[in-house]
Homo-oligomer: A and B are copies of this chain.
Amino acid sequence: MSAADPSALLAASFAAAVAAADPGKVLPAHLPGPQQLLHFGRTLVVGAGKAAASMARAVESHWPADCPLSGVVVTRYGHGAACERIRVVEAGHPVPDEAGEAAARQILQAAQSLSENDLLLVLVSGGGSSLLSLPVAEVPMADLRSVTRQLLSSGAPIQDINVVRKHLSQIQGGRLAQATPARVLALVISDVAGDDLSAIASGPCAPDPSTYGDARALLSQWEVKVPAAVAGFLERGIDGGIAETPKPGNSLFSRVENRLIASAHRSLEAAAEVFRGAGIQPVILGDTITGEARDVAQVMAAIAREIAAHQAPFQRPVALISGGECTVTVRGRGRGGRCSEFLLALGQASVGIERLWALAADTDGIDGVEDNAGARLTPDSLVRARALGLDSRRMLEDNDAYEFFSRLGDLVMTGPTLTNVNDYRVVLLA
């Protein structure tokens, strides 16, 4: 891929980012080989998350035909995909529902029924916390839903929410690994900052450093109206002998392996490699860049302006790469996701900076609720838009970035990729 066609280069970098998170491409290398499988009894595949179906499919298509394989994974409504030997269940997200509970109960029972010689293969990806919700016996599902809903709307960070979830769950916080006598291999696609294995899907097979006391303190801090059953359980959890989640150092983890197979950062690194190959310096600014899309665009434009004016802190040609999830506060009546809105704002904020190209797209292939993954910006985007009679400023005000880039023929379309390591953004100064 050459630097002579920046738009093609950006597209190739996005394809590389998606490929690095595609279970079909990255998962097979982590599966036990036929020789290793001889050491195991049977293999049970379980899992949950937005990428669960495509992870299950990747397992199936690389599993020796003569080795037994069965299992069940849970994914979001609409994120299913046909599998033959592994059952794919769709369930509620981000608030758990009964479909997820039933599947989780089945998964737990199947994991408990394994023997020491068996292998529990766990497919973990973002969203698994709510998809694989099996509250402890003392807490009704309705109470777990109530607590989850309140936490989601309280402004609590996801880490805090997960501390509570882990302590009300029979699966999360390492409980799944604890529940089975089998060997455990958890393959993990991370969509969280820092790729903390105990955070992704609330770590069903990972040690959990948090405590019942933490969970109670957080419920109080976030002013959750705690149902009596939840309060009672969290109290007894400390004083009444209900075991804690397994902590780091617990000997059970000697038969457990958690392996990160894809993450936002690895996808950014894969994209970076494309630029390096084209003789362009890639700079990964961060894989956790959040904030209102149009404000993030202003910061990116300012960094680009600094480079254009001072050839510092980086020299052209340079590709400023970032990941994470921006937000869009919808004020207008237009269409568009956070990636296209970021680009439209970037186009306006970077007026006067020459030879600037950009691409922003969601690695799951869906920018918000539209049919595009994202869009691309070229040095002449605003000029071409004006020629078409488009008022870019007004369209940004109206959150109408989809229409803007659609009219320009500059939407990036991939279809759903059935994986997710958040957004991919790159600003290229050629």
Contact = CB atoms under 8 A, between A and B. Distances in A.
Interface of A: 155, 193-194, 265, 283-292, 294-299, 302-303, 305-306, 309-310, 312-314, 322, 324, 349, 352, 393, 397
A285 B298 CA distance: 12
A284 B313 contact: yes
Contact of A284 (B297, B306, B397): B306
A291 B286 CA distance: 18
B284 A302 contact: no
Max count, chain B CB within 10 A of own CB: residue among A292, A299, A324: A299
Contacts of A313: 283-285, 314
Nearest to A268: B306
Given A289-B299, A290-B298, A302-B324, 16 more contacts: A155-B393, A193-B305, A194-B305, A194-B309, A285-B306, A286-B305, A289-B302, A289-B303, A290-B349, A291-B298, A292-B292, A295-B295, A295-B296, A299-B299, A302-B322, A313-B314
Contacts of A299: 286, 289, 291, 295-296, 299
A194 to B, nearest CB: 6
Contacts of A303: 285-286, 289
Contact of A194 (B295, B296, B352, B397): B352
Given A305-B194, A309-B194, A289 B298 contact: yes
B289 A312 contact: no
Given A299-B299, A393-B155, A306 B292 contact: no
B305 A284 contact: no
27 contacts: A155-B393, A155-B397, A194-B309, A265-B309, A284-B310, A284-B313, A285-B302, A285-B303, A285-B313, A286-B303, A288-B302, A289-B299, A289-B303, A291-B291, A291-B292, A291-B295, A291-B296, A291-B297, A291-B298, A291-B299, A295-B295, A295-B296, A295-B299, A296-B298, A296-B299, A302-B324, A313-B314
A83 B306 CA distance: 38
Please indicate which of the listed interface residues A155, A285, A286, A303 has the most CB atoms of chain B within 10 Å of its own CB: A286
Interface pairs A-B: 5 shortest CB-CB: A295-B295, A291-B295, A286-B302, A291-B298, A286-B306
A352 B192 CA distance: 14
Contacts of A295: 291-292, 295-296, 299
Contacts of A324: 302
Contacts of A305: 193-194, 286, 288
A324 B312 CA distance: 17
A82 to B, nearest CB: 38
A251 to B, nearest CB: 28
A161 to B, nearest CB: 14
A291 B283 CA distance: 22
Given A194-B309, A194-B352, A302 B283 contact: no
Nearest to A195: B309
A314 B65 CA distance: 49
A193 to B, nearest CB: 7
A121 to B, nearest CB: 28
Q: Which of A288, A295, A303, A322 has the most CB of B within 10 A?
A: A295
